[in-house]
Amino acid sequence: MYNIIDGKRIATIIKREIAEEVEKNISCGMKKPHLVTILVGNDGASETYVSHKIKACKAVGFSSSIIRFSDKVTENELIIKIKEINKDKDIDGLIVQLPLAKHISEENIIETIEPSKDVDGFHPINMGRMTIGLPAYVSATPQGIVELLRRYKIKTSGKHCVVIGRSNIVGRPVSILLSQKNDYGNATVTLCHSRTKNLKEITKKADILIAAIGQKEFVTEDMVKKDAVVIDVGIHRVKSKKTKSGWKLKGDVKFDEVAPKCKYITPVPGGVGPMTIVSLLTNTLKSATNKFD
Ligand code: NDP
């Protein structure tokens, strides 16, 4: 029988822990942590993600604000605003919701954010520090995945971990974290991507399989070893006649056929997703209190 890794439950626990720390800090005279989100344009998915972040901030007692720009904003106008926020002592964390309009370079925007306020952990300084094991803001989804393994006491040391996907926001950083020389690292990591040959032979050897491919139900039962731990990062909206909204979420893993083979598996929704926002809150609290593990 497989065990579900319940990201929603863990996220609720962590939010409670954060809220308690904020309350304690405020009672000691500290200010509320403040997260600012820059939102460019009116993309529906971005609006939804940002509204979830704002709601989560409120739930744990943070201040939050959204700075909106039309999709006609120039890169320079955005850079000027970011530099202003960098200097604002009241603001602890800044995120720029991606993707941006095509005429704006995401690299230039990310590199303008002051690394000490880069709670998304996308700045090359944070990525570099994380890579060599120095205190850093770790990007939210990889941090959330490691936290799920930690909270479920799933050992990574000496395990073969296979990550499918090498994006800078998920696959690559999680592969680095799991290979670090520390308690929730020490894994032997194989990083796969679209040019990987014999993918199935590799994934079948995984004690821990992390799917961050961006293709619906890509991982099938024949790709997974018996008693593996499977972490599904994918999010795909599909039409459904069974739900009120008319759609439901699927992952990168074919859950129904893969789950019975696993020891542990994350569902979609309710697995990795809720942990991503929580990691952002954790990073903002770190920035406000200057406390790194
Ligand atoms: P990207 O599209 O940036 O990266 C996908 C990766 O998968 C690439 O490295 C690509 O290889 C690899 N890939 C694609 N096809 C194959 C294949 N056939 N075989 C092997 N590898 C393949 O995606 P992201 O990392 O941004 O996101 C991955 C998924 O996770 C998406 O569904 C996204 O929506 C979801 N997501 C969920 C989050 C959450 O909070 N739960 C947060 C972020 C993302 P190559 O590099 O060679 O192109």
Q: How many CB atoms lie within 10 A of CB 106?
A: 13
Q: How far is the CA of 194 from the centre of ligand 1 (A)?
A: 10
Q: What is the CATH number of the domain that holds 255?
A: 3.40.50.720
Q: Choosing from 92, 118, 120, 207, which is the catalytic residue?
A: 120
Distance CA 126, CA 145 (A): 18
The reply to whether 19 falls in a domain is no
pLDDT at residue 1 in the model: 87
- Cβ-in-10-Å burial (0-12, 13-18, 19+) of 58 comes to exposed
pLDDT bin (cut points 50, 70, 90) of residue 292 is low
pLDDT bin (cut points 50, 70, 90) of residue 196 is very high
Look at residue 193 and give its three-state secondary structure.
coil
Q: Are residues 155 and 222 in the same domain?
A: yes
Domain boundary among 100, 115, 130: 115
The pTM (predicted TM-score) of the whole model is 0.96
Q: Are residues 222 and 178 in the same domain?
A: yes
Kindly state if the Cβ of 46 falls inside 6 Å of ligand 1. no
Length reported for the chain: 293
Q: Are residues 42 and 96 in the same domain?
A: yes
Q: Are residues 149 and 72 in the same domain?
A: no
Kindly state if the Cβ of 105 falls inside 6 Å of ligand 1. no
Region 267-291 average pLDDT = 95
Question: What pLDDT, in 10s, does the model give residues 169-188?
Answer: 999 999 999 999 999 999 99
Catalytic (active site) residue 53: yes
Region 73-87 average pLDDT = 98
pLDDT bin (cut points 50, 70, 90) of residue 245 is confident
pLDDT at residue 75 in the model: 98
Q: Are residues 150 and 269 in the same domain?
A: yes
Question: What pLDDT, in 10s, does the model give residues 98-151?
Answer: 999 999 999 999 999 999 999 999 999 999 999 999 999 999 999 999 999 999
Q: How far is the CA of 46 from the centre of ligand 1 (A)?
A: 18
Region 209-230 average pLDDT = 98
The end-to-end CA distance of the chain, in Å, is: 35
The reply to whether 122 falls in a domain is no
Kindly state if the Cβ of 212 falls inside 6 Å of ligand 1. yes
The reply to whether 46 falls in a domain is yes
Amino acid at 138: V
Catalytic (active site) residue 31: no
Distance CA 247, CA 235 (A): 12
The reply to whether 39 falls in a domain is yes
Q: What is the CATH number of the domain that holds 50?
A: 3.40.50.10860
Q: Choosing from 15, 53, 225, 286, which is the catalytic residue?
A: 53
Region 187-193 average pLDDT = 98
Q: Are residues 149 and 226 in the same domain?
A: yes
Q: Are residues 193 and 237 in the same domain?
A: yes
Kindly state if the Cβ of 168 falls inside 6 Å of ligand 1. no
Kindly state if the Cβ of 169 falls inside 6 Å of ligand 1. yes
Q: How many CB atoms lie within 10 A of CB 89?
A: 7
| Closest protein CA for atom 6 of ligand 1 | 165
Q: Are residues 63 and 168 in the same domain?
A: no
Kindly state if the Cβ of 213 falls inside 6 Å of ligand 1. yes
Q: Which residues, other chains included, contact 95 with Cβ-Cβ below 8 Å and sequence gap of 6+?
A: 35, 36, 37, 38, 53, 119, 120, 280
Q: Are residues 162 and 238 in the same domain?
A: yes
Distance CA 208, CA 215 (A): 19
- What is the overall mean pLDDT for the chain? 96
Q: Which of 168, 174, 193, 196 to mutate to test the pocket of ligand 1 (most atoms within 8 A of CB)?
A: 193
The reply to whether 252 falls in a domain is yes
Q: Are residues 154 and 249 in the same domain?
A: yes
Whether the predicted pLDDT of 293 surpasses 90: no
Domain boundary among 80, 99, 115: 115
Identify whether the C-beta of residue 179 lies closer than 8 Å to the C-beta of residue 38: no
Q: How far is the CA of 196 from the centre of ligand 1 (A)?
A: 14
**Domain of residue 174, residue span:** 140-274
Q: Are residues 82 and 158 in the same domain?
A: no
**Number of domains, the chain:** 2
Q: Are residues 188 and 243 in the same domain?
A: yes
The token duo for 77 is: 């106008």
The token duo for 165 is: 């996907």
